[in-house]
């Protein structure tokens, strides 16, 4: 049985921290699922850390669905959340409903995530009414990066902080089951967490949130373009991969790979007939 939204909401009530990670492929998702992580986000960060785009903006529905299906195949216990890409929920409620439904029907996800607060609240309400769990995302919303003027900390002025609280309330009232707070000062994220009755999941939003989310490539050290301030590297996979590839390269060049252990034999008499 996969994690349910009620279990996630209960965790807030019990003061139990919620762990969430991204994953984009079958093998990684399987390990994350086996480690017991209850929420796996197929984030549109896929665009940057897997597909090599400069931002999340070029990511398409088809790319998201392709990777969501792989993550779903690799998981048994986690709730898999599909991230709605740029402009797949902005134009109309109909678009938002149809694309959210594609994540569930074609992708096999159990929930979707979308960016925005008050401005998307009506769409959240309608998606939830159709039986699709929605996770909100406010603070730094990378799909609006050109409007925000860069990857900057959000909510630092009193107007911006008040608006963020309004956004969080609007999402909770519309029926979202949790909200990601990205790049928000710790005291503001803590206040929002105290003021709303659904869990907050922070990324660069400090220790006062109900849970934390990280991009798996950041915590594993496999994405080398830059290390965001909010990320802690628990491993340096890029170094491990580089060393392994170099060793393989050197062994092939030296003729010391493969050995008998990685090779297959056959009956000598079959070979003799050919000769
Ligand atoms: O796309 C993503 O991975 C996200 C996380 C940063 C929450 O939205």
How is residue 179 written in tokens? 């909200």
Cα–Cα dist 22/198, whole Å? 20
CA of 203 to the centre of ligand 1 (A): 8
pLDDT over 90 (residue 181): yes
pLDDT over 90 (residue 275): no
| pLDDT reported for residue 2 | 98
| pLDDT reported for residue 93 | 98
- Sorted by sequence, the CB contacts under 8 Å of residue 265 that are 6+ apart come out as none
pLDDT over 90 (residue 68): yes
How does residue 151 score in pLDDT terms, banded at 50, 70 and 90? very high
Pocket of ligand 1 (CB under 6 A): 22, 41, 43-45, 83, 137, 180, 182, 203, 213, 215
pLDDT over 90 (residue 94): yes
CA of 129 to the centre of ligand 1 (A): 24
CA of 244 to the centre of ligand 1 (A): 29
Q: Which ligand 1 atom sits nearest the alpha carbon of residue 201?
A: 7
Cα–Cα dist 15/64, whole Å? 32
Give 33-56 pLDDT, tens digit per residue. Answer: 999 999 999 999 999 999 999 999
Average pLDDT of the chain to the nearest whole number: 98
Spatial CA neighbour of 47 closest among 66, 64, 30: 64
Dihedral sign for Cα 47, 19, 102, 136, please: negative
Average pLDDT over residues 170-186: 98
CA of 82 to the centre of ligand 1 (A): 10
Q: Which ligand 1 atom sits nearest the alpha carbon of residue 215?
A: 3
Q: Which ligand 1 atom sits nearest the alpha carbon of residue 113?
A: 8
Residues marked as catalytic: 182
Q: Does residue 175 contact residue 122 with C-beta atoms inside 8 Å? A: no
Tell me if the pTM is above 0.95.
Answer: yes
Strand, coil or helix: what is 80? strand
Cα–Cα dist 81/108, whole Å? 9
Hey, whose CA ends up nearest to atom 8 of ligand 1? 43
Give the rounded percent of residues in the chain with a pLDDT score beyond 70.
Answer: 100
| pLDDT reported for residue 38 | 98
């Amino acid at each position: 049985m996969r994690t349910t939204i009620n279990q996630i909401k209960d965790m807030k009530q019990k003061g139990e921290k919620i762990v969430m990670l991204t994953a984009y492929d079958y093998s990684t998702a399987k390990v994350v699922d086996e480690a017991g992580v209850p929420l796996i986000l197929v984030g549109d960060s896929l665009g940057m850390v897997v597909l090599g785009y400069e931002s999340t903006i070029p990511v398409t529905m088809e790319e998201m669905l392709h990777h969501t299906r792989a993550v779903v195949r690799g998981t048994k216990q986690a709730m898999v959340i599909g991230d709605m890409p740029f402009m797949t929920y902005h134009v109309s409620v109909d678009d938002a409903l149809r694309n959210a439904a594609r994540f569930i029907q074609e992708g096999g996800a159990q929930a979707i995530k979308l960016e925005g607060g008050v401005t998307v609240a009506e769409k959240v309400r309608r998606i939830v009414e159709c039986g699709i769990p929605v996770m909100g995302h406010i603070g730094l919303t990378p799909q609006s990066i050109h409007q925000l003027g860069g990857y900057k900390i959000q909510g630092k002025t009193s107007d911006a902080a008040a608006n963020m609280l309004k956004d969080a309330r609007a999402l909770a009232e519309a029926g979202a089951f949790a909200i990601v707070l990205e790049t928000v000062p710790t005291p503001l994220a803590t206040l929002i967490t105290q003021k709303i009755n659904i869990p907050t999941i922070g990324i660069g939003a400090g220790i006062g949130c109900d849970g934390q989310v990280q991009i798996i490539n950041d915590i594993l050290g496999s994405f080398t373009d830059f290390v965001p301030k909010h990320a802690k590297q628990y491993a340096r996979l890029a170094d491990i991969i580089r060393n392994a590839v170099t060793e393989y390269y050197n062994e092939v060049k030296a003729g010391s790979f493969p050995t008998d252990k990685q090779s297959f034999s056959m009956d000598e008499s079959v070979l003799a007939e050919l000769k």
